[in-house]
Amino acid sequence: MTTYLALHYWAGSGHEFEPLLPLLPPGSHLLAPDLPGFGSQAAPAGFDYSVASYADWVAQYVEDNKLVDYQIIGHSMSGKIALALAARQPAGLRGLLLLSPSPPTPEPISDADRAASLAAYGQRAEAESTFTKITSIPLSDEQRAQVIADNLRTTQAAWDAWLLRGSREDISALMPRIAVPCRLLVGENDRAIPLAAQRQQTLPLLPAGSALVAVPGAGHLLPLEAPEVIFSA
């Protein structure tokens, strides 16, 4: 049985993958943990919120859950984490499905946008504004409420660390070590990490033959906006 290990976006939680459950390929199942500092997952003692530390945490999660045949779905922030883990060539990993990933190179965030995001921590009005910015296809009131709640329960340590360090990390030197198939899905209306940035910063560093699929009408939250394309694109 194949397991899909689904890793969420920055300031999100594993809840975002619930729409995928009825769409799973036959004979597979899905695990969607909250990452340290997000959702209900506290950070371990001494956790430094680096990409490598998140990859370590995911590797331990794989071991704890005895996964021997799995694929990773990495969304946004977790796309970079998934790439870092895949570069270690872990046993049992069969492929990566990258949804609007943070590129292996530093994210295209301006200094002004970074400062504004840092200042937005814990503010409901800003969380509501972010929801509007990162979605393009209308979502239900329940989904909107969950996205905003996830934003507001992110710890400040995890929030700040990604903006100041994780998003700036350059792991491009690790990319030649990735030996599993990769698929890249990006919303054509993604304003968080635009399609053009993925073409320039992500696709050229993936294994030869990796496909990029632009999802019509979608923004940044593909598992919520266009869940039907995740396993079919």
What domain count does the chain have?
A: 1
Q: Inform me whether the pLDDT recorded for 1 exceeds 90.
A: no
CA distance 124 to 148: 7
The parent domain of residue 169 ranges over 2-229
The two beta strands, 182-187 and 93-99, are parallel
| CATH number reported for the structural domain that contains residue 131 in this entry | 3.40.50.1820
- In contact, 8 and 32? CB cutoff 8 Å: yes
Q: Angle at the Cα of 210 (from 104 to 184), degrees rounded to 5? A: 60
| Radius of gyration in angstroms for the set of CA atoms belonging to the chain, rounded to a whole number | 16
pLDDT-derived band at 233 (thresholds 50, 70, 90) equals low
Q: Average pLDDT of 9-19?
A: 98
> What mean pLDDT value characterizes the chain?
97
Q: Inform me whether the pLDDT recorded for 87 exceeds 80.
A: yes
Q: Average pLDDT of 190-219?
A: 97
